[in-house]
Structure 1
Amino acid sequence: MPETPKKEEAPEPLTEASITKYTTAGQIANDVLKELMGMVKEGTKVGDICTHGDTRIKELTSKCFKKEKEMEKGIGMPTCVSVGHVACHFSPLKSDPDVVLEKGQLVKIDLGAHVDGYIASAAHTFVVGASTDEKVTGKKADVTLAAYNALEATLRQLFPHKGLKNSDITKTISEVAGIYKTTPVENMLSHQIGRFETNIGKEIIQNPSDDQVNKIEKHIFEENEAYIIDILITTGDGKIKQGDIRTTVYKKADNVVYQLKMKNSRNFFSEASKEYGVMPFSIRGFANEVQAKLGVIECERHGLLQPYPVLYDRDSELVAQFKATVLITPSGIVKVAGLPLDTSVYQSDVKIENPIIQSLLKESLKMKKQKKKDEKTAGEAKDTPKADPPQ
């Protein structure tokens, strides 16, 4: 595997080649997400879904750009399946007790693929056993629709010609959540992304806490930028925390050097670096799980790995998540990863009456074609007799 590239000072603008790779990774992410949604049934084990998702991402990415022998491809975000009040990053080990899905549970699947470092990540929320004959109602419907509509409203505010700031989007997410009497999860970030980077440049924060309000630099959005927009909405007060469940998802930290003392740790870190580079991974994917569990301890303790802890709301609450990877192009906002919600399955008593939000959700993601005023003006000028030059 090629040497891990250094962190970019700023993301490179989109090119035809990078758009192709983002789009390829996005198609793989969407295809795998659809497969996993088909697996979500009463009695299915969460661990089986996670394992299948990671396996399929590796299989499908290995089949693209075959002529590019040195190109890195594979998992951009390991498959996580978080149920009910679990907010995110639940990816159990094979040795962990089985978590078996039950009818009526709210399920979130989060995953990602990358091609040559161009990452496309997506997340989707749905209810086990839901259908047009057995519709989702109450809090489950409200929190799901709140998260989905907040995502869709966000995407339509990324158009550069609108001149909106990231702080404007923060307000919109809060407004949409409030319509459904729900709350954005506190301090969750969406990021501008670049090659081999899921966190570079500009950020959008949802529901900032008091100590975070002034820490996010304000900015506008510009053409040829890429973003992962991640929306998490809860029926609770927005404050979530780390639970007692073991963290299994990690990412190699930037610019940290430390000489590991334990052989297990060195072997694990070497394998993780060769297999995943700078991409997030789950230690579930290692053949020697015992070595991985031991090795990760020293690596995390000395800052070589960045943990993605499992986050929880209170048992009585529900958390919904929708994530999309988008490109801001001259022709509009291109959603390369992220699936539409089948809203016919969700029945809510809440109606969006805010005319601004209503209008926003009806907008197309394609850039409106400007009327050719210049051509019209030029035509009129051509037909107008020219004045005689001054004597």
Structure 2
Amino acid sequence: MAETTQTQTPEVDYTLNNPDTLTKYKTAAQISHKVLEAVSAQCVEGAKIIELCQNGDKLLEEELAKVYKGKKIQKGIGHPTTVSPNSYVTPYTPLVSEAAEAETTLKAGEIAKIQLGAQIDGFGTIVCDMVVVGASEVTGREADLIHATHYANELLLRLMAPPGLLATGSEEEKKKAAAAKAPTQARITQLIEKVAKTYDCNVVENTTSWLFERNEIEAEKKIILSPGSGVKGEGVPDVGEVWGVEVGLSLGSGKVKNLDHRPTLHRRTTTTYQLKRPSSRATLTEIVKKFGQFPFSLRQLDDEKSAKVGVIESVRNGVLRQYEPAGDADNAAVSRYLTTIAITKNGITKLAAPAAPDFEKVKSDKKIEDEEILKILELPLSKSTGSKNKNKKKKAKKADGTDE
């Protein structure tokens, strides 16, 4: 009897050890940055939030269509475009069919948070930045909030570097640094709160950073800043991981309240359930096909009105997670940054990140004086390879003909 041999498809390495993985993350990040810049420029006084969200999603799809053409690689929106007004804490994406919300516009002077992301082959890069609507220069409390958010974010990124990863000095000093324990989440919160207090701000409760994996933006590890009662983070960042790092501060107490809006942002979970209603099954099929397990807005589905009904059974049985709209309990202005980072043996790489504020135009009369905080902020995020500087020097030599 003849033996039949089966050829097995080699298992693909989806970790950062595979250069293709990092390339996909970086390509998705370039798209996220490009669209973020375009939507931010459109955040002017009187702009309708629904139109900003629609424009952002259209741009994401157009840019995604330009990459990995003709290849059997899944790609799409990793996070729909959301624009959150002044006191809104969570990503906000209104629906066309909700008449009152569809008319919501941006007001001069408020802080608008823009969040969006692209994904390629399941590798998502989400980013959130903010603009002060209609302001060429920012002073006063809004400037305090922006300064505080920038430095809190830079501090958190440095606290996420595994101990000893960027240590210098003798081998003995490096070993000692590597043996140190990573800061606890309580300690991280304490340090971030120090920065916030410097600028008379408060950390938004339960601000969560998540471990990202392929097709998953809420993996097992998470860091929670200012956790509420009964809430705690899990795990510490490690080499080879990708994280979505979030910082949110408030000019109020930092406490959060649910808003009287329909939840419009959802995400499929790993829970399975035999849905009873045909409309529920049809809606879920469309969701799985279009978005996988990435977040989506109900406005992205073919029929928005039927989608509002079609998700109810899935939400009730845990097949879909719905994100409850929340805002600052004091209706105070809040900020949000979200940075997608990769942790490699060379340190932390910002894949998709908010732009650094122009401090010539954003002026606060407050400054950080705590020596411990300043010392951490001075630390590099990654090892300097020196290759870029060498290349620059070579180009300079060719340009002016000198050897200096």
User: Which residue number in structure 2 is paired with residue 278 of structure 1?
Assistant: 293
Q: Deviations over 1:91-136 (max 9, x none)?
A: 00012321111211111011111110001000011201121xxx21
How far apart, in 1, do the equivalents of 2:129 and 2:135 lie?
14
Q: Does 1:47 find its partner at 2:62? A: no
Contact 2:30-2:352 within 8 A present in 1 as well: yes
How far apart, in 1, do the equivalents of 2:385 and 2:120 lie?
32
User: Which residue number in structure 2 is paired with residue 7 of structure 1?
Assistant: none
User: Which residue number in structure 2 is paired with residue 312 of structure 1?
Assistant: 327
Match of 1:157 among 159, 162, 169: 159
User: Which residue number in structure 2 is paired with residue 120 of structure 1?
Assistant: 125
Q: Does 1:62 find its partner at 2:65? A: yes
TM-score, normalisation: structure 1: 0.85
User: Which residue number in structure 1 is paired with residue 189 of structure 2?
Assistant: 170
Contact 1:122-1:338 within 8 A present in 2 as well: yes
Contact 1:88-1:311 within 8 A present in 2 as well: yes
Provide the secondary structure at the position in 1 that maps to 2:311.
helix
Contact 2:253-2:330 within 8 A present in 1 as well: no
Match of 2:375 among 359, 363, 379: 359
Provide the secondary structure at the position in 2 that maps to 1:109.
strand
Q: Deviations over 1:45-101 (max 9, x none)?
A: 1111101111111221222111322x2111111111111111112100012321111
Q: Deviations over 1:350-390 (max 9, x none)?
A: 111112222333333221579xxxxxxxxxxxxxxxxxxxx
Q: Percent identity?
A: 34
Match of 2:220 among 193, 201, 205: 201
TM-score, normalisation: structure 2: 0.83
Match of 1:235 among 245, 248, 251: 251
How many residues align? The count is 352
How far apart, in 1, do the equivalents of 2:226 and 2:197 lie?
12
Match of 1:184 among 192, 199, 203: 203
How far apart, in 2, do the equivalents of 1:25 and 1:172 lie?
32
Contact 1:258-1:304 within 8 A present in 2 as well: no
Unmatched segments (≥5 aa) in structure 2: 1-13, 165-179, 387-404
Contact 2:275-2:313 within 8 A present in 1 as well: no
Provide the secondary structure at the position in 2 that maps to 1:320.
coil
Q: Deviations over 1:253-303 (max 9, x none)?
A: 113222232x32222111111111111100111231111111122221222
Contact 1:130-1:345 within 8 A present in 2 as well: no
Residue 244 of structure 1 deviates from its aligned partner by 0.8
Q: Deviations over 1:227-256 (max 9, x none)?
A: 100111112222102111111000011132
How far apart, in 1, do the equivalents of 2:208 and 2:33 lie?
22
Matched to 2:292, the amino acid is G
Q: CA RMSD in A?
A: 1.9
How far apart, in 1, do the equivalents of 2:105 and 2:94 lie?
12
> Kindly tell me: are residues 47 and 166 of structure 1, through their superposed partners in 2, closer, same or farther at Cα, counting changes over 3 Å?
farther
Provide the secondary structure at the position in 2 that maps to 1:159.
coil
User: Which residue number in structure 1 is paired with residue 400 of structure 2?
Assistant: none
